[in-house]
Structure 1
């Protein structure tokens, strides 16, 4: 029989009370005095309303550089991470589990694309797996991006893996139940995996077997420093890449990476389709018209992209036409992975409710939702009862984050639906 959403799941020996998880999102909490309170206010409602597992969104393993967006939290400092015990206690009080997602942006970091950040931090170089690909160097010459990369030596690759391990150790001490490696969304782990980015000639480059060695190095560092803590990673297929990109990760590659992760000792994988670029293949759905037109964020957009930020909005509009919303768009890939591994397969991307039974039946062992939590922080109270998320896939929640704004729903029709549900008591357990 196919598992039900309300059935428990075990990941790396840890019992998860049900098979619904909050996928990693940008909490925009930073590291300031109010960071812990912000994280609690963002994540506790999901636990309080019954979600089985929460993946806290990408946190950066180093104290300088590496942030892919404004407001990301850094977890290199054990004193700061120890304060996150207040967050893990709050989540555990409701019976949920929480994993910390670890990340470094590499060439996708703000020191590449955010004009204001570059001006304030002119000495920060991007960590790079290899020399940036030709198309990115062209974007540099055109002034769209700015590259001054520090290509990692072999020794520096191991040092970076050790930073992941150290942050995992701090997280375990703070009460986190597991670790999630941000292996997709164009962060540095994906850059090691991808033949588009990785042109190295040492043990971390060349064949797919070599390109997965950075994930193996991270695994070994986490195990050495944090023991048998449950360990999960995203695994990318770059099938949404533009036609001009000839070297990318195929679905077959993604399946082989998942098999390699199981052999290394990872306890679960989350296969996702995307691109070699940070683009609409990640979120799909409508062009975020309202967000780009909102004058409250115009100053932030200009700070991020320069005076020509409206050209960026136009490019976003054009690109959105190629990625209409597709329910459960990663389910097919997850199904193929699930046939070839014995560890749990986690599926996210376009899951809004009606697809859950089908996905759990064939494609995955657990299902995750991300952006719908921006619209409904207490979403599990309804989804666990078989209802559908009110999210309309308009993406108006995402673009303001480049201006440092919180990830919240700003679409009146969706907010009206949520208001009616609140009045009806739909979010009470």
Structure 2
């Protein structure tokens, strides 16, 4: 008899959108789009293979502005010409009843002039990221900031027209929304920076513009999510006290869930080693039921997923494990857990819909954390007390 796990319960958002269970596929980079950001048939196959079991499927990220592209092989939503292809993405992700969320972003300084075809990256301030070969970005003007805010609104309209069930604003992993909130990347002294409150102004303006697009164009329940990274290790950088204040403000915004991007679901503070309370529980306490919460980070087994939802966290996101086992939910539902794959073989990549560019990205960024069957496995402790090589899966 199938064991009943709490993550198999359905969930209903306040706006009426209902998902059949609380398992989420988080946004995972698959670097398989065409050079111009158009969808490829390889991507559609990859997406449809993983749809149907989970309640909520969040897409790989799509850039909203021409100068917002972060890497090659990335989806684009910068123009109406992408809507037909994105409609195919939404259809593939909604196969057999999963709800489809399109993640959107602007990469800001986490890009480079090669990706941008000779154009200098932009950010809140002209401060380079603390990473190898990072380029110093150009500080955005007020007019440019307003233009990017509008780009997020237009991207939301396109997502609605393409048939998605919602969008997720990527305010995590050091991209532009986070760059404006961070005291490391934002050294402005105008309305867009300076105090903690002013560093919130850009993401709050984006949320407002996105909400206006939803009200104007959506004729069905359309979810707006927001993803955050709770801490930075740079100095100055985002600390947990900043995040809790931001979370308190986000709880009163017209958004439908908060998604916390980490490499380990139960991570404690990267900056205060004496604090042993998991960050996700701090955020849950701060929200106090005002927003649904998604937790992610190295969750692989049904028992690990249940530990998340048993603690009252609304949804659990399963990333790398869904790459290895696209039918994870279906196997749990049919009492077939013994057949779940927890390793991946390079001989099975085509069967799993994983393209060569995606595999190269995975083994470069995550290496042994992918549990490659014929290679030494990774130390599971490595993500618990530091940033993962690729956060949020």
* Aligned-pair CA distance for 1:373: 2.2
The aligned counterpart of 1:232 is 225
Length, aligned pairs only: 340
* Aligned-pair CA distance for 1:146: 5.1
The aligned counterpart of 2:296 is 348
The aligned counterpart of 2:388 is none
Secondary structure at the counterpart of residue 229 of structure 2: strand
- Inter-CA distance 70–9: structure 2 relative to 1 (3 Å threshold): same
- Mapping of residues 189-268 of structure 1, within 5 Å: 189-227=177-215, 229-239=222-232, 241=233, 245-268=234-257
* Aligned-pair CA distance for 1:399: 7.8
CA distance in 1, matches of 2:260, 2:16: 21
- Mapping of residues 79-98 of structure 1, within 5 Å: 79-98=81-100
CA distance in 2, matches of 1:327, 1:222: 28
The aligned counterpart of 2:60 is 57
Determine if contact 1:269/1:343 at 8 Å carries over to the other structure: yes
Say yes or no: does 1:121 pair with 2:81. Answer: no
The aligned counterpart of 1:302 is none
CA distance in 2, matches of 1:384, 1:24: 23
Alignment counterpart, residue 22 of structure 1, candidates 22, 25, 32: 25
CA distance in 1, matches of 2:20, 2:305: 17
Alignment counterpart, residue 99 of structure 1, candidates 98, 101, 115: 101
Determine if contact 1:42/1:377 at 8 Å carries over to the other structure: no
Secondary structure at the counterpart of residue 107 of structure 1: coil
Structure 2, gaps ≥5 residues long: 269-276, 376-393
Say yes or no: does 1:339 pair with 2:342. Answer: no
The aligned counterpart of 2:39 is 35
Range with greater deviation from structure 2 (377-386 or 336-345) = 377-386
Deviations along 1:270-305, one digit per CA (max 9) or x if unpaired, are 1234xxxxxxxxx4xxxxxxxxxxxxxxxxxxxxxx
Cα RMSD, aligned residues only: 3.3
CA distance in 2, matches of 1:254, 1:391: 34
Determine if contact 2:173/2:261 at 8 Å carries over to the other structure: no
CA distance in 2, matches of 1:345, 1:130: 31
* Aligned-pair CA distance for 1:358: 2.0
Say yes or no: does 1:412 pair with 2:373. Answer: yes
Determine if contact 2:342/2:371 at 8 Å carries over to the other structure: no
CA distance in 1, matches of 2:187, 2:35: 38
Deviations along 1:71-123, one digit per CA (max 9) or x if unpaired, are 01111111212332223233334111000000111111143xxxxx36x823x
Alignment counterpart, residue 318 of structure 2, candidates 341, 362, 369: 369
Instruction: Please state which structure has a larger fraction of its residues in helix.
Output: 1
Secondary structure at the counterpart of residue 167 of structure 2: strand
* Aligned-pair CA distance for 1:196: 1.2
CA distance in 2, matches of 1:351, 1:272: 12
